[in-house]
Amino acid sequence: MLQEKNYQFWFCTGSQDLYGEECLAHVAEHAKKIVEALNTSGNLPYEVVWKPTLITNELIRRTLNQANMEETCAGVITWMHTFSPAKSWILGLQEYRKPLLHLHTQFNREIPYDAIDMDFMNENQAAHGDREYGHIFSRLGMERKVVMGYWEDKDVQQKIGSWMRTAVGVIESSHVRVMRIADNMRNVAVTEGDKVEAQIQFGWEVDAYPVNEIAEAVEAVSQGDINALVEEYYTKYKILLEGRDEQEFRRHVAVQAGIELGFERFLEEKNYQAVVTHFGDLGSLRQLPGLAIQRLMEKGYGFGAEGDWKTAALVRIMKLMTAGMKEAKGTSFMEDYTYNLVQGKEGILQAHMLEVCPSIADGAIGIKVQPLTMGNREDPARLVFTAKEGAGIAASLIDLGDRFRLLINEVDCKKTEKAMPKLPVATAFWTPRPNLRTGAEAWILAGGAHHTAFSYDISAEQLGDWAAYMGIEAVYIDADTTIRQFKNELLWNSVAYRK
């Protein structure tokens, strides 16, 4: 379901025709070596493709337009090995529409003190060529990523690699389609938003379907398919009966198996990659989708509860940005629930009624069947676990009426001091940076939601870069945040983003 694509990134070196054939041959040779080193480094999630050196306005414009048209191309990496007069780039850049990374590097690492002459200087002048090139972006007011450093260094390659994931998030954003099978929860403000504006800004298509249409798809799932999936659950997860009758428990689990299959088929048939539900609008569904939604999230679907389509789309984007990562720790829809305010042990217990993605689970996952006070349906089956330890990002996308704002909070996930045997839901526990008090105060001042898209595998920089490409405001709450500075930032942003 995740639909990973074999995206490529074009490597375009800038120069001009004043240097002569020999110098340009060296430029091309050096660029090819860099591309090869990047591709064999193991630090890049996608392939880099060398393109002929760009030396004229016409070639620049043609190449960048080809990059626009080529579906497999998710972005362009540019580097001014020599000097490329930046007026040559204006038209091409004005027409270019994909993410762009300006790699500010140099073919040679160390100044060859004994041998250096003007020929060497002319062939290693990114220090001045890249400044000319960078200027025109600033003049045009264009978003781009600048990465400076030596191309053989691992940290530089990793920076390029993480930017590639951001670029894929940008390209894939316009392919995200969210199915609303219920409206926003009545009277709730923060999960609302302007869907037309979201499509203009992010490319997201957000459509509503009557809940009973998807309920019919659930009813249509065969008993054989349900039984097979229940068997899979029983093999994969620990069955936590907690005094319930075994047969009755299995029947409740089977309802979720039917929902998982019915939902998945309905979403696939209609080409949606994210979904929202609402406990108050379940139609003929027998249980609130719990275990079923948890499994769909693990497969790569975005999800938001109570009609929260913004978080659903954001979870989907974050799933795509982290696709195929080695040692990924997981990405999930999440909700701020309860505080621990004991000094030195402060944190926020994260959960939802049911719907937390098992990709973030640490260790064994169990199934429980428990009553739900909300929703007026059968006791739903759900997966229960606790989340991994480690740093992560909690993000909230809100609609301020005149613009979207993305809050990005760095958090540290921990184990709770004790187990919580009576709590029948999956949980995480984290302390926001810089600490609970400042983190929560800043979050509330910025208007952040109780729902978040959470990931261990994405950095604040990546998500902030994604927001910058989308042209929206992003605010960071991290180790450097102070309330005084943060309030000023919100004030300045309100002016900067005024339409």
Instruction: Name the residues that contact Mn ion, by CB under 5 A.
Output: 305-306, 335
Distance CA(333)–CA(347), nearest Å, equals: 18
Q: Which is nearer to Mn ion, 103 or 305 (CB)?
A: 305
Strand, coil or helix: 286: coil
The least distance separating Mn ion from the CB of residue 280, rounded to whole angstroms, comes to 11
- Helices H / strands E in the chain, number of each: 15, 19
Minimum CB distance to Mn ion smaller for 399 or for 473: 399
Q: Are strands 274-276 and 347-351 parallel, antiparallel or unpaired?
A: unpaired
Specify the residue, 175 or 450, whose C-beta has the smaller distance to Mn ion: 450
Q: Which residue of this chain has its Cβ atom nearest to Mn ion in the complex?
A: 305
Nearer to Mn ion by Cβ, of 130 and 306: the residue is 306
| Whole-number Cα distances in Å, 442 to 250, 450, 459 | 45, 13, 19
In the complex, the smallest distance separating the C-beta of residue 304 from Mn ion, rounded to whole angstroms, is 9
For residue 62, the Cα-to-chain-centroid distance in whole angstroms is 31
CB of 476 to Mn ion, least distance (A): 24
Minimum CB–partner distance for residue 450 and Mn ion (Å): 6
What 3-state DSSP class applies to 80? strand
CB 210 to Mn ion: min, Å: 22
CA 274 vs CA 81, 198, 288, 299, 314: distances in Å: 43, 15, 17, 11, 9
Please list, in sequence order, all residues whose beta carbon lies within 8 angstroms of the beta carbon of residue 243, skipping any fewer than 6 positions away. Answer: none
CB 335, min distance to Mn ion, A: 5
Cα dihedral across residues 472, 476, 481, 482: positive or negative? positive
**Nearer Cβ to Mn ion (229/275):** 275
Measured from the CB of residue 188, what is the shortest distance to Mn ion in angstroms? 9
The Cα-based distances of 237 to 273, 365, 382 in angstroms read 25, 5, 11
Q: How far is CA 428 from CA 61, 132, 310, 395, 416, in A?
A: 49, 48, 21, 15, 8
Amino acid code (one letter) for 217: A
Which phi and psi (to 5°) does residue 406 adopt? Answer: -105, 120
Closer by beta carbon to Mn ion, 306 or else 473 = 306
Least distance from Mn ion to the Cβ atom of residue 272, Å? 20
Between 205 and 306, name the residue whose CB sits nearer to Mn ion: 306
Nearest approach in angstroms of CB 106 to Mn ion is 51
Name the residue nearer to Mn ion (CB basis): 264 or 308. 308
**Minimal distance, residue 288 CB to Mn ion, in Å:** 12
Residue with Cβ nearer Mn ion (82 or 277):
277
State how far the Cα of 475 lies from the Cα of 164, in Å rounded to an integer. Answer: 22
- Residue 394 pairs in a beta bridge with 409, 454
State the first-to-last Cα distance of the chain, in angstroms, to the nearest integer: 38
- Whichever of 185 and 239 has its CB closer to Mn ion, that residue is 185
Q: Between residues 364 and 374, which has the closer beta carbon with respect to Mn ion? A: 374
Burial class of 229 by CB neighbour count within 10 A (0 to 12, 13 to 18, 19+): buried
Report the alpha-carbon distance of residue 414 to residue 421 in Å, rounded: 17
CB nearer to Mn ion: give 318 or 334.
334
Contact 440/299 with Cβ under 8 angstroms? Answer: no
What minimum distance in Å lies between the beta carbon of 451 and Mn ion?
A: 6
Shortest approach of Mn ion to residue 355 CB, angstroms? 8
Contact (Cβ atoms closer than 8 angstroms) between residue 80 and residue 132: yes
- Pick between residue 172 and residue 306 the one whose CB is nearest to Mn ion: 306
CB of 394 to Mn ion, least distance (A): 14
CA–CA distance, 183 with 334 (Å, rounded to integer):
19
Q: Which of 372, 388, 266, 256 is nearest to 329 (CA)?
A: 388
Across-strand partners of 432? 411
Q: Which amino acid is at 230?
A: V
Note whether 382 and 287 are within 8 A (CB).
no
With contact defined as beta carbons under 8 Å apart, do 45 and 165 qualify?
yes
Element (H, E) at 222: none
